[in-house]
Amino acid sequence: MDHSFETISAQAGHVPGSSPDVTSAIHLSTTFHYPPTGEAPTGFTYSRESNPTRKQVELTLAQLEHGADAAAFASGSAAAQAVFFSLKPGDHVIANIDVYSGVRSMLKNLFMPWGLEVTFADLTRIENLHAALKPNTRLVWSESPTNPQLNIIDLAAIIAVCKPLGIRTAIDNTFATPALQNPLLLGADMVMHSTTKFLAGHSDLTGGALITREKNEWWERIRFIQHIGGAVPSPFDCWLLLRGIRSLAPRMKQHVENAKAIAAFLSSHPAVERVLYPGLASHPGHAIASRQMKAPGAIVSFLVKGDKSKAVHVAGRVKVFTNATSLGGTESLLEHRKSVEGPDSPTPDNLIRLSVGLEDVNDLIRDLDQALRAS
């Protein structure tokens, strides 16, 4: 029987008939009994390769993203590395020009010296994808919404170009979560998550995941990289992730409602140059976001009127928001991203990124207002 997203997430880790537990158990064992013949009828031999708690995470994520299988990693970066390591030197990768800074650094400083060719392109315009294609292009890596500028990329259009050419597509769905966007249903080959963020939802674990549309040779190679590399989450982190997923649906609804209200407030504030939020009709990607997302998400970025020093001053004045990196927890976070990403980042100097939490939205708005007015 097919169940809704809300039902699957609310019962994450619960497998009727497998045990009397209503919530998932934590299997801390690193090793498991199996016969001397070497066969493992339970499917478990050593926790680096597989663990019952991690298996429940992977089954749940595959269901939520409408995938054939999922692989859990110790971080989103570890998940991304597995995708790039599945390629070979000489292969060409195209990534959106404003890709997450950690992935940009990974590609520039690890995989390009290793032998991958990488082109960073503005994928909000499909003609730029066509211009970037090469005979050796093997993968297009994209985010939508992008981090932190919240540009919207037409995923269906990207996939329509790549699929006839045999080019694989991998989409970082961290910002949207499967509650708001399902790239595999649009035809993407793979979805990546930093499960640290909204999926876990409580800022208390680090994790990542890949979900595949098909079990194929590429997926088997990624599974091998996961097993042999060993960058996998602990059973306790897996249990925490299942705990977080159980409240994902109602959390995302409140996150989004708060973000919409804050975006509307900021869009008319005299100290704000521009609000970057796909839920606003003024956003250049609003129509595409409305088509491919169920809701515009809970991340709001905005440009302060003034330079970098002005934005940093605003960031330093907040009292309810917390100045911290990461996102997706119950608490609201604020960050001047250029200070984190470095001088070669394409992020504007005056951009502030908000991860909108679950507090009373009026408290959040008053906090932003006093910080902006004090600057």
The catalytic residues are 48, 100, 172, 197
**Rounded CA gap, 224 and 84, in Å?**
13
Class of residue 314 by CB neighbours under 10 A (exposed 0-12, middle 13-18, buried 19+): buried
Asked if 190 contacts 61 with a C-beta cutoff of 8 angstroms, the reply is no
**Rounded CA gap, 209 and 65, in Å?**
11
- Which amino acid would we find at residue 354? L
Element (H, E) at 76: helix 76-85
Burial 172-202 (b: 16+ CB within 10 A, else e): bbbbbbbbbbbbbebebbbbbbbbbbbbbbe
**Rounded CA gap, 257 and 354, in Å?**
14
**Rounded CA gap, 230 and 192, in Å?**
18
Asked if 326 contacts 368 with a C-beta cutoff of 8 angstroms, the reply is no
